[in-house]
């Protein structure tokens, strides 16, 4: 099973700032990685797939990069609605599909 590790667990940032979230895989997943955003009480929402492709309707301030075992999600200028929990998910080697434990973005 591929273990996905996200860091940090919590990130305190101010609106308007640029932020980078990290996701590391225990073995190479090539570019077979997705990012999701989850607001409190809501279902996760797909942001990025194939490591760097934005899903339909996702604002351009979200960008993904990386391949192999190291990936990042960058939000260029945080808006109030971006304060949420973010998860990465690998789909290179399954079963099972696996998620990171999440990074919570909170308002500083």
Partner 1 sequence: QVQLQASGPGLVKPSETLSLTCTVSGDSVSSFYWSWIRQPPGKGLEWIGFIYYSGSTNHNPSLGSRISMSVDLSKNQFSLRLTSVTPADTAVYYCARHFRGLNAYPDWFDPWGQGTLVTVSS
Residues that bind partner 1 (CB under 8 A): 32, 34, 36, 42-46, 49-50, 55, 87, 89, 91, 94-102
- Residues 88, 103: Cα–Cα separation, whole Å: 9
- DSSP 8-class letter at 61: T
Query: For partner 1, which is the closer residue by CB, 16 or 81?
Result: 81
Cα distance between residue 23 and residue 40, in whole Å: 21
- What residue spans of 7-94 are helical by DSSP H? none
Q: At closest approach, how far in Å is the CB of 16 from partner 1?
A: 29
Reported as type and span, the H/E element at residue 25 is strand 19-25
Beta carbon of residue 17, minimum distance to partner 1 (angstroms, whole number): 25
Q: Which is nearer to partner 1, 19 or 34 (CB)?
A: 34
Strand partners, 2: none
CB closer to partner 1, 49 vs 83 = 49
Least CB distance to partner 1 at residue 31 (A): 10
């Amino acid at each position: 099973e591929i273990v996905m590790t996200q860091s940090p667990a919590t990130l305190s940032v101010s609106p308007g700032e640029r932020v980078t979230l990290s996701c590391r895989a225990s073995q190479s997943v090539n570019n077979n990685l997705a990012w999701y955003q989850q607001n409190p009480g809501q279902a996760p929402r797909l942001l990025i797939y194939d490591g760097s492709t934005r899903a339909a309707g996702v604002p351009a301030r979200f960008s993904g990069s990386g391949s192999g075992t190291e990936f990042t999600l960058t939000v260029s200028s945080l808006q109030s609605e971006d304060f949420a929990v973010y998860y990465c998910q690998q789909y290179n080697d399954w079963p099972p599909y696996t998620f990171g434990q999440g990074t919570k973005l909170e308002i500083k």
